[in-house]
């Protein structure tokens, strides 16, 4: 004879299921496996809602920021560990992409690839569940630094992978800068589109800079991008610095991308490896 379970009991049973069917996902930056609950239906629903919102935006900067936040929140919500409060401080944006891809592959490794002027096709990303064992993150993708000297001045730039906490902080700042323009309507958005795209570039570059140290006549000036109160002025400084610095940051980012492409990829219909873009679109055809 069946009995009617209480809402609380049902939720407890669901949580027990998640715990018993947890996923061990690899985080490259800390060279460790962490335990996560599988993705829930409500999380899938949020991803789809964000995708619909993004499709309505002419400039998708804010939806992209919201999507990054949603993916980070997903990791925090699904993490099974005692140090949840520290998770965004120790995991990086690279880890987020890798873990999310593993959660997606664990749920269903088959993904759908859309094409221009052609029917979509399906392929598998099951390899992301085992590939990390033999693909560790190189040291030059963790941190790097360069020193430039000119006319008695020393300029040192220290680069590192951005943590999820830093990514969230910088994105929140950028979103607050964008919202006044977005509220003015499509004409204002179109007028400022070029400026927004340029800002997006510098914002992304700043995430990978731990600090810039300028030394001259025993006087040191330290510039960082991890404080909302100073980030605006420090971004202006970044725009005025020698282009050599931007080249070095781009090289550092390129090294990280090369590593990511070696583990996060899919094989197309012609047998070629293609970069796997890890965003909310990865979940809309699950």
What local confidence, expressed as pLDDT, does residue 65 receive?
Answer: 85
Q: How far apart are CA 61 and CA 172, in angstroms?
A: 12
CB atoms within 10 A of CB 146: 16
**Cα 152–156–157 angle (5° rounding)?**
150
Nearest to 78 by CA among 21, 4, 161: 21
Which H or E run includes 13? helix 7-20
Long-range CB pairs of 277-281 (<8 Å, 24+ gap) are 278/71, 278/96, 278/97, 278/100, 278/101, 279/64, 279/67, 279/71, 280/47, 280/48, 280/50, 280/51, 280/54, 280/67, 280/70, 280/71, 281/51
| Residue reference for tokens 């090294």 | 255
| Whether the Cβ atoms of residue 78 and residue 19 lie closer than 8 Å to each other | no
Residue 21 token pair: 């069917």
What local confidence, expressed as pLDDT, does residue 59 receive?
Answer: 53
**Of 83-97, 106-120, 168-182, 263-277, which gets the smallest average pLDDT?**
168-182
Mean pLDDT of the chain, nearest integer: 87
Q: Which residue has the higher pLDDT, 181 or 281?
A: 281
What does the pLDDT look like over 123-148, one tens digit per residue? Answer: 999 999 999 989 999 999 999 999 99
Show me where the domains of the chain are located. Answer: 7-283
What does the pLDDT look like over 252-281, one tens digit per residue? Answer: 999 999 999 999 999 999 999 999 999 888
Residue 233 token pair: 């002025």
Using a 10 angstrom Cβ sphere, with 0-12 exposed, 13-18 middle and 19 or more buried, the burial of residue 152 is exposed
Beta bridge partners of 35: 24
Polymer length of the chain: 286
**Model-level pTM?**
0.88
| Whether the Cβ atoms of residue 237 and residue 144 lie closer than 8 Å to each other | no
What local confidence, expressed as pLDDT, does residue 110 receive?
Answer: 95
**pLDDT (average), residues 16-43:** 86
What local confidence, expressed as pLDDT, does residue 1 receive?
Answer: 45
DSSP SS3 for 128 = helix
Would you place residue 242 in the very low, low, confident or very high pLDDT band (cuts 50, 70, 90)? Answer: confident
Which H or E run includes 167? helix 164-183
| Pairing verdict, β 32-36 and 23-27 | antiparallel
């Amino acid at each position: 004879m069946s009995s009617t379970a209480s809402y609380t009991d049902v939720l407890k049973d669901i949580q027990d299921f998640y715990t018993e069917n947890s996923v061990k996902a690899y985080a490259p930056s800390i060279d460790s496996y962490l335990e996560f609950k599988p993705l829930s239906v409500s999380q899938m629903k949020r991803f789809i809602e964000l995708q619909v919102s993004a499709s309505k935006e002419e400039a998708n900067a804010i939806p992209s920021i919201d999507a990054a936040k949603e993916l980070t929140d997903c990791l925090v919500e699904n993490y099974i560990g005692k140090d949840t409060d520290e998770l965004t401080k120790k995991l990086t944006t690279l880890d987020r992409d890798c873990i999310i891809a593993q959660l997606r592959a664990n749920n269903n490794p088959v993904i759908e690839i859309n094409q221009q002027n052609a029917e979509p096709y399906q392929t598998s990303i099951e390899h992301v569940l085992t590939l990390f064992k033999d693909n560790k993150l190189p040291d030059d993708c963790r941190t790097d630094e360069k020193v430039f000297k000119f006319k008695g001045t020393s300029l040192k730039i220290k680069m590192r992978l951005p943590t999820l906490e830093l990514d969230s902080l910088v994105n929140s700042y950028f979103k607050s800068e964008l919202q006044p323009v977005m509220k003015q309507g499509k004409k204002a958005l179109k007028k400022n589109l070029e400026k927004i795209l340029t800002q997006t570039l510098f914002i992304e570059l700043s995430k990978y800079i731990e600090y810039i140290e300028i030394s001259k006549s025993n006087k040191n000036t330290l510039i960082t991008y991890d404080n909302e109160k100073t980030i605006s002025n420090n971004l202006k400084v970044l725009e005025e610095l020698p282009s050599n610095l931007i080249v070095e940051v781009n090289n550092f980012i390129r090294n990280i991308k090369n590593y990511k492409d070696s583990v996060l990829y899919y094989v197309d219909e012609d047998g070629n490896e293609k970069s796997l873009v890890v965003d909310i679109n990865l979940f809309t055809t699950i």
